[in-house]
Amino acid sequence: MVSFDISSSGLSFALEKIRPTLCKVAITVPQHVVSLVYEQATLAQCDHIQAPGFQKGSIPISYVEHHFGATLTEHLKEFLFNYFALSFLFDQLTLHKLAIAGDPRLLTMDVEPHKDARFTFELTIFPELELQEWRYFPFKAPKRKKYKDLDRQVENFVNDEKENLKSLTGSSVAVNDWVNFEVRLVSPEGVPLLGAHEKSLWLKIGDEEADGPLRDIFLGKSVGEQFCTISAALQEYFSYRMNARYTFCITIKSILHHKYFSFDDFKRHFKLKTNKDMMRKLIEVFSYRNDISQRRAMAEDSLALLLARHSFSVPNHLVLRQQKAVLNRIKTNSDYHVYRMQRDFKERVFQLAQKQAKETILIDQIAYAENLQVTRQDIECYLNLTKRPRMKEFIYFDPPISKVDGKEMPLSEEEMKHACLREKTLNYIIYHLTQE
């Protein structure tokens, strides 16, 4: 058993090796934190539920604990998992450079009021690959098409986005913007309840009717603004079983305006120094051969080269999990039923899942070997690419799904970092392979 204690937050991380490629990890949330959250949830029910023989707001805690004890415990599990355990797990995996294959699997949640809460995960630890001097592999980058119209298309795109920037009338949050905010649990009077602990989230401000409750929290807000809310929509992110009516203090850290595509962020993302370099890079998603963009071909060829030089097998259970993820993505395509009727559909899905599983394992190992890190600015540059359909072609790996049941929901900073690190690593690989 290897244990890492984090005194600043009181949470602890313990790793137990079951087999060479299988580990169990226990995340423990200390008793005083569990008790505090439990008491806040219980008091909220005392103030808001109605019960025979009691006036509203006068129900004793003992009554709530007796009649709603099971619901409160289930709420505790959800809240502690979403507010503490999952993000702390990813933080520790990154901190200790534990290259896992696939996603962590939650095994148990041992949660009771006034006791330490323990969340146990199962991890597949992939053996460290013996990485070769891949920077010096011979690589022939796909060439762009020479049509002059492509240059004109890129120039038009750049000019249009420059005009969009000029027409931006304010700096506050608007529909379709991305917002990064920190949320902290506080008392109704605004006093922090969990010390310095806060959770960093990213939210796309949706334009559908279902997005209204979360949208209303942020519309018109500016960077640096701090305010409190008891929004049920935000509480649903942490626990959907019960509205505990927590008071959250929110601080706006960053706003990515959908109104314009940021060329400064684009240059940072790809480490481009001049406008000429930028135009050359933009061409990659305008130049297509056989329905595949130059950028996509470059990414696939780079990964294929590295996989050909690093031979390893992927555990079957990881391929099956990835196969399920592939199917879920394909089902969102309007042509899904046409694809499914093809004779070799299942075999193609399996091959794609196997390829993707290998790519992510290799990418993650290179990221750790090269000590690549992700900052908030990296995430901003990554999300900048999602603003325009054509620019999304620069994103190779599936981005996190922000829409749940038809509405935009927050994404944790840890989840965003995980996705961003893979893209950053791929860009790092392509950069070195294409250096002359």
CATH number at residue 41: 3.30.70.1050
CB of 231 closer than 8 Å to CB of 207: no
The arithmetic mean of pLDDT across residues 70-88, rounded, is 93
Contacts (Cβ under 8 Å, ≥6 apart) of 309:
132, 134, 137
Distance CA 270, CA 20 (A): 37
Per-residue pLDDT band at 7 (split at 50, 70, 90): very low
Number of domains composing the chain: 3
Only one residue has tokens 């460290």, namely 128
- For residue 108, give the amino acid letter: T
Three-class secondary structure of residue 123 per DSSP: strand
Q: Are 205 and 274 part of one and the same domain?
A: no
Q: Are 199 and 50 part of one and the same domain?
A: no
Task: Please give the pLDDT value at position 306.
Answer: 98
Q: Are 248 and 277 part of one and the same domain?
A: no
Task: Please give the pLDDT value at position 283.
Answer: 97
**Per-residue model confidence as pLDDT tens digits over 20-31:** 888 999 999 999
Q: Are 58 and 119 part of one and the same domain?
A: yes
Per-residue pLDDT band at 93 (split at 50, 70, 90): confident
Per-residue pLDDT band at 53 (split at 50, 70, 90): low
Q: Are 195 and 326 part of one and the same domain?
A: no
Structure tokens belonging to residue 389: 């359909």
Q: Is there a domain that residue 239 lies in?
A: yes
Q: Are 163 and 110 part of one and the same domain?
A: no
Q: Is there a domain that residue 140 lies in?
A: yes
Q: What is the DSSP string of 322-370?
A: HHHHHHHHHHTSTTHHHHHTSTTHHHHHHHHHHHHHHHHHHHHHHHHHT
Q: Is there a domain that residue 371 lies in?
A: yes
The rounded percent of the chain whose pLDDT value lies above 90 is 68
Alpha carbon 55 to its chain centroid, in Å, reads 44
The arithmetic mean of pLDDT across residues 159-166, rounded, is 97
Bridge-based pairing of strands 407-408 and 403-404 is antiparallel
Structure tokens belonging to residue 55: 């006036």
Task: Please count the CA atoms within 13 angstroms of the CA of 59 that sit on its side-chain side.
Answer: 22
Task: Please give the pLDDT value at position 291.
Answer: 92
Domain boundary among 194, 223, 256: 256
Continuous segment of H or E residues that includes residue 159: helix 148-166
Q: Are 212 and 299 part of one and the same domain?
A: no
Q: Are 188 and 163 part of one and the same domain?
A: no
Domain boundary among 219, 239, 256: 256
CA distances in angstroms from 189 to 56, 158, 192, 229, 238, listed in the order given: 21, 49, 9, 11, 21
Q: Are 215 and 334 part of one and the same domain?
A: no
* Residue with more model confidence, 385 or 124: 385
CB of 85 closer than 8 Å to CB of 345: no
pLDDT reading at 131 higher than 80: yes
What's the mean pLDDT when you consider all of the chain? 91
Q: Is there a domain that residue 172 lies in?
A: no
Task: Please give the pLDDT value at position 407.
Answer: 93
Q: Is there a domain that residue 329 lies in?
A: yes
Task: Please give the pLDDT value at position 21.
Answer: 81
CA atoms 225, 226, 227, 233: torsion sign: positive
Q: Is there a domain that residue 323 lies in?
A: yes
pLDDT reading at 3 higher than 70: no
* Residue with more model confidence, 143 or 57: 143
Q: Are 142 and 289 part of one and the same domain?
A: yes
Residue 184 carries which DSSP code?
E
Distance CA 306, CA 132 (A): 9
Distance CA 126, CA 314 (A): 9
The rounded percent of the chain whose pLDDT value lies above 70 is 95
Q: Is there a domain that residue 397 lies in?
A: yes
pLDDT reading at 1 higher than 60: no
pLDDT reading at 333 higher than 90: no
Q: Note down the domain range covering 240.
A: 178-256
**Per-residue model confidence as pLDDT tens digits over 384-433:** 999 999 999 999 998 998 988 889 999 999 999 999 999 999 999 999 99
Q: Are 210 and 282 part of one and the same domain?
A: no
φ/ψ region of 397 (left if φ > 0, alpha if ψ in -120 to 50, else beta) reads: beta
Task: Please give the pLDDT value at position 148.
Answer: 82
Query: CA angle, corner 201, sides to 238 and 416, nearest 5?
Result: 115
Domain boundary among 220, 235, 256: 256
**Residue 239 belongs to domain with CATH number:** 3.10.50
Q: Is there a domain that residue 129 lies in?
A: no
Lowest mean pLDDT among 133-137, 260-264, 335-339: 335-339
Q: Are 238 and 346 part of one and the same domain?
A: no
Contacts (Cβ under 8 Å, ≥6 apart) of 125:
17, 20, 21, 22, 23, 98, 99, 100, 101
- For residue 425, give the amino acid letter: T
CB of 83 closer than 8 Å to CB of 199: yes
The arithmetic mean of pLDDT across residues 271-287, rounded, is 96
Structure tokens belonging to residue 434: 């294409």
**Per-residue model confidence as pLDDT tens digits over 181-237:** 999 999 888 899 888 789 999 999 999 999 999 999 999 999 999 999 999 999 999
